[in-house]
Amino acid sequence: MARVVYDVMSTQKTVRRQAGTVEETALRIEPEKAEQIVDALNTDLAATYVLYHQIKKHHWNVEGAEFRDLHVYLGDIAADLEEGADLIAERAQAIGGVPLSGGATFEEHAPIEPEGEDVYDIRTSLENDLEAFGTIIESLRDHIELANELGDYTTEELLRDTLETAEEHAHHLEHYLEDDTLVLDSATR
């Protein structure tokens, strides 16, 4: 079946805010500091959305005896990622930045590589998710430190909350990947 691509042009005549720019706001964060923070937030936003789409793929494709629990849990992770991405984007906008948008833009700016379109066994999928969470956790820690150094304590707290959620999910994924299971491989029976 042929894929139809529609050309949708904006009817807006004037760009209100150019991507990649930062303007002063009532929050009074110095422009140089705001630029650094917006850049960090956009990196975390991109990583979050890349992982969100990967997790959703695994949520849709999980099979096997542990299907139900994993399907539900992956849906919970996706919901947390989506909520976190929204908070990160809103903070970037609040301090004068323009949050990134669009799949290709997210992939270009994310510190993680998306898994790709193929479907893998659930253990491989969860290992890929755990690896992505590890990279995001390291990025969040760096950006928490940056926000603190630049005196943006609100962003620091937002990123701490995001880090706590990411660490919790990474910890739970690690448990799913342990070798203790009620499901027996046919070769071990």
- Residue 12 domain-assigned (yes or no): no
How many domains does the chain contain in total? 1
pLDDT at 180 over 90: no
Over residues 125-145, mean pLDDT? 98
DSSP assignment string, 118-181: S---HHHHHHHHHHHHHHHHHHHHHHHHHHHHTT-HHHHHHHHHHHHHHHHHHHHHHHHTSS--
pLDDT at 13 (0 to 100): 79
- Residue 157 domain-assigned (yes or no): yes
- Residue 23 domain-assigned (yes or no): no
pLDDT at 189 (0 to 100): 45
- Residue 186 domain-assigned (yes or no): no
Structure tokens at 156: 């620091």
- Residue 6 domain-assigned (yes or no): no
| CATH number, position 99 | 1.20.1260.10
- Residue 10 domain-assigned (yes or no): no
Structure tokens at 135: 């990279």
DSSP code at position 19: T
Rounded to two decimals, what is the model's pTM?
A: 0.88
Over residues 138-142, mean pLDDT? 98
pLDDT at 179 over 90: no
- Residue 183 domain-assigned (yes or no): no
pLDDT at 48 over 70: yes
- Residue 140 domain-assigned (yes or no): yes
Which residues constitute the domain of residue 133? 31-177
DSSP code at position 188: G
CA pair distance 120, 113, nearest whole angstrom: 16
pLDDT at 184 over 90: no
pLDDT at 15 (0 to 100): 80
| Banded model confidence at residue 133, pLDDT cuts 50, 70, 90 | very high
